[in-house]
Amino acid sequence: MVVLGDTIADDRTYTCVRCTTFPDQLARALSRAVGGDVEVHNLTIPDAQVSDLLHSVRTDEVDRSVISGADAIVVTIGHNDLAYNRRDDPCGAAPRYPRISWQRITHRCIDRATAQYRSDLDAVLTDVERLRNGRPTMIRLTTVYNSVIGDRVDPSWNLLAAIEPSTYAVQHMVRAQCAIAEGHHGLCADTYHRLNGNTGLRSAQPFLNPADATHLAASGEDTVAAALIALAYAPLTAAK
């Protein structure tokens, strides 16, 4: 099983003390389901955006070889592609990041950023499928969640003005993620509504590390793992 994406899925960041990460929990469940050992290759990239992942999938020969031999691919990418969180500040809202002028995070700017993300994510999964060359592959993508609501670590993130633009950005990215995953014969694990509730307006902070208000705490790792495990393991079977 290969894990692609950013530090949300990175077991080397140690942001969650005494946790079993969701990729490891999924690997254990998959091992039981297929009746054999599952080797995990965590290829996540610190602070990655989807463009970084695309570059790796296209140019890193070691990563490409590992992906080619993987029966299961788990993708967690998007937090750093949200319009208010991109390093290139596409809305001109964060020259003093992490302070953000939320009124500058407009729907128009969010839509542009989401379209760019969608195109690159589609390219990532297209390349993954090419590397797999038609072999049965379990493709799973975890959605982004809204870490802005209730975030008291990053200045300006807990403002009322942050709720609408962050919710709009996350909702539209989640829709794009699920559409792309399903278009590549995969499934998306809706961690957004598990962490932010049915309306998407509940703070995810009880599931997140209080030190950075972003990465997963133990309860968050367990919740994301449960969302993935609930999708089962098609097209992999115990008879494989």
Note the pLDDT of residue 240: 39
Evaluate whether 181 touches 187 at the Cβ level (below 8 Å). yes
In this prediction, residues 23-36 reach a mean pLDDT of 95
Q: Which CATH number fits domain 2-229: 3.40.50.1110, 3.90.550.10, 3.30.230.10, 3.40.50.10800?
A: 3.40.50.1110
In this prediction, residues 98-125 reach a mean pLDDT of 98
- What percent of the chain is modeled with pLDDT above 70? 97
Domain extents for the chain? 2-229
Q: CA-CA distance, 76 to 191, in Å (whole number)?
A: 11
Exposure b/e, 17-37, CB count within 10 A at least 16 = b: eebebbbbbbbebbeeebeee
Q: Which of 143, 96, 93 is nearest to 117 (CA)?
A: 143
Query: Which position has the higher pLDDT, 86 or 15?
Result: 86
Q: CA-CA distance, 79 to 197, in Å (whole number)?
A: 18
Note the pLDDT of residue 239: 41
Q: Which of 16-20, 109-113, 135-139 has the lowest mean pLDDT?
A: 16-20
Q: Which helix (H) or strand (E) holds 111?
A: helix 107-132
Q: How far is CA 156 from the centre of its chain?
A: 23
Say if residue 238's pLDDT is above 60.
no
127 falls in which pLDDT band (50, 70, 90)? Answer: very high
Helix-helix angle 218-229:22-34, to 10 degrees: 30
Return mean pLDDT, the chain.
95
Note the pLDDT of residue 226: 98
Neighbouring residues of 139: CB distance < 8 A, sequence distance ≥ 6 = 72, 73, 75, 125, 128, 181, 184, 185, 186, 187
Length of the chain: 240
Q: Which of 20, 12, 81 is nearest to 43 (CA)?
A: 12
Pairing of strands 72-76, 2-5: parallel
Q: CA-CA distance, 41 to 193, in Å (whole number)?
A: 28
Q: CA-CA distance, 232 to 48, in Å (whole number)?
A: 27
Q: CA-CA distance, 133 to 129, in Å (whole number)?
A: 6
Specify the amino acid at residue 134.
G
